[in-house]
Amino acid sequence: MLGRVKALEILGNALEHSTADQTMVTLTIGESSLTRFANSQIHQNVSEFNAVLGVKAVVGKRIGYATTNKVTNDAVKSVVERAVSFAKHSEENSDFVSLPHPKPIKEIPAFDEQTATYSPEERARAVQDMLAEASKLGASGAGSFSTGYEESAVMNSLGIRAYEAISLASLTTVMTCDSGSGYADRISERVGDFDPLETAIEAAQRSVDARNPQPIEAGEYDVVLLPYAVAEMLDFLAYMGFGALAVQEGRSFMCGKFGQQITGENITIWDDGLDPRGLPRPFDPEGVPKQRVDLIVNGKANAVVYDSYTAHREEKESTGHATGGSGSFGPYPTNMFMSPGDSSVDEMIATTKTGLLVTRFHYVNVIHPILTTITGMTRDGTFLIENGKVTKPVRNLRFTDNILERLSNTVMISKETKREGIAVVPAIKVRGFRFTGVTEF
């Protein structure tokens, strides 16, 4: 690892070479290792070490951006010169005001030595134990187990000096048993936070239960969605409209709706980059400290996230949600939460006369971002609920539905939540989920 002193020294060297009016330099460096398995056998183990030095140069209202994978003095000087040249030859951006100024950054303990140095042998042993446990249930497994670390540093000519080191462990598996399949995943900054055996058992048991799925007709069903599916819905809300750029460009479902009811009153969604229940980060790729943003409060559209560019356009301050690079993607929430309720999945099932239990979604795409309409399929464990009990597995279904409408018809929310990707979410029961087609598997 470079460490804070060395990382900031490299960025300081880059700033010294810049002749731009304003300059921001970022460095992301780290190692990621992956053990992949299929047909209950480990078939690949890879490790990648990489560094990316990015330079954003501002000349007047012209902006240039360039990157390199090298951090030698010559490479740093060269990439700075390219960014400045790009800026000088770019069109003016009349909305640009300034790079961000420094603010106090709260330190977040997000680095775990065990995770950063987890060996291929340790991952292999964990995977072998998972596959052995799955075999006891008659299931075979595929998936991946990754561990590693990343250092991030940001410096700009206005005084920002930020550095963090994080670790990350991620485990994903699909187990199959005859015609049944089951899914489970875990993610954490600390590899010791989750149990690979428990993950394997969850997926394997689901695959056993999902054998010999039966066909059912498409239509509207009351549906119990496990956290895997709920997180997918939140991910797409983030993509379609929780960022200020989407609102400013008139393509967000939040446009013209602030203060209005857009979901049921039992729905509150927020983003908090400092909350350790998620995957916390102290600052964004511009070096701006993370702020909590309450996106939907008791069903009402409340706020969106900002980076420095979109904030300046409205004479506001960045909420610490820049996405890095050239900044063209706009701000994005990366540590979202949905408020829990007072139910359990078992209670949701028990109160359902006829409905479906859905593990997760697959191959989801946007149809209409302002209406939050998406389409996709169920996957790896879809079951029929009859008279308050799960009675049989069913073939996967194609759905086309409106996320906000379903969140307006959410009648039960679980007490327990799960960290899933960029969101921490509960399970939910919704009325009238629209399935438009059926599959052969």
Reported as a single tens digit per residue, the pLDDT across 351-390 is 999 999 999 999 999 999 999 999 999 999 999 999 999 9
Give the residue from 54, 55, 65, 58 showing the smallest Cα distance to 96: 58
Task: Say which residues have a Cβ less than 8 Å from residue 405's Cβ, sequence separation at least 6.
Answer: 372
Give the residue from 121, 176, 168, 166 showing the smallest Cα distance to 146: 168
Predicted confidence at residue 216, as pLDDT, reads 96
176-186 average pLDDT score: 98
DSSP helix/strand/coil, 76: helix
Give the residue from 69, 26, 27, 30 showing the smallest Cα distance to 48: 30
339-357 average pLDDT score: 98
d(CA 75, CA 115): 31
Predicted confidence at residue 129, as pLDDT, reads 98
Do 321 and 307 meet the contact criterion of CB atoms below 8 Å apart? yes
Structure tokens at 345: 């999945």
93-138 confidence digits (pLDDT tens): 999 999 999 999 999 999 999 999 999 999 999 999 999 999 999 9
d(CA 433, CA 2): 50
Helix (H) or strand (E) holding 27: strand 22-38
Predicted confidence at residue 322, as pLDDT, reads 98
DSSP helix/strand/coil, 145: strand
Do 414 and 229 meet the contact criterion of CB atoms below 8 Å apart? no
Predicted confidence at residue 149, as pLDDT, reads 98
Using a pLDDT cut of 70, give the percent of the chain over it. 100
Do 307 and 272 meet the contact criterion of CB atoms below 8 Å apart? no
336-350 average pLDDT score: 98
255-294 confidence digits (pLDDT tens): 999 999 999 999 999 999 999 999 999 999 999 999 999 9
d(CA 419, CA 276): 11
Predicted confidence at residue 434, as pLDDT, reads 98
DSSP structure string for 183-206: EEEEEESSGGGS-HHHHHHHHHHH
Do 430 and 266 meet the contact criterion of CB atoms below 8 Å apart? no
404-428 confidence digits (pLDDT tens): 999 999 999 999 999 999 999 999 9
The pLDDT confidence band at residue 38, using thresholds 50, 70 and 90, is very high
Count Cβ atoms within 10 A of the Cβ of residue 310 and give its class: 0-12 exposed, 13-18 middle, 19 or more buried.
Answer: buried
- Give the distance between the most distant pair of CA atoms in the chain: 72
Predicted confidence at residue 391, as pLDDT, reads 98
DSSP structure string for 95-128: T---PPPP----------HHHHT--HHHHHHHHH
Averaged pLDDT score across all residues of the chain = 97
Q: How far is CA 189 from CA 2, 27, 174, 192, 227, in A?
A: 19, 20, 22, 9, 19
Structure tokens at 40: 């209950």
In order of their start, the domains of the chain are 4-203 (3.30.2290.10), 214-441 (no CATH)
Give the residue from 263, 320, 256 showing the smallest Cα distance to 297: 263
d(CA 355, CA 112): 43
Predicted confidence at residue 250, as pLDDT, reads 97
DSSP helix/strand/coil, 375: strand
Predicted confidence at residue 308, as pLDDT, reads 98
Structure tokens at 370: 């302002």
Do 133 and 252 meet the contact criterion of CB atoms below 8 Å apart? no
Sequence letter at residue 366: V
d(CA 122, CA 108): 27
Predicted confidence at residue 43, as pLDDT, reads 97
Q: How long is the chain?
A: 441
Distance, CA of 418 to chain centre: 13
Q: Give the chain's count of helices (H) and strands (E).
A: 10, 17
Place of tokens 């983003």: 271
The pLDDT confidence band at residue 189, using thresholds 50, 70 and 90, is very high
Alpha helices by DSSP H, listed for 380-434, are 403-408
Give the residue from 164, 161, 153 showing the smallest Cα distance to 107: 164
Sequence letter at residue 382: T
Do 399 and 390 meet the contact criterion of CB atoms below 8 Å apart? no
The pLDDT confidence band at residue 197, using thresholds 50, 70 and 90, is very high
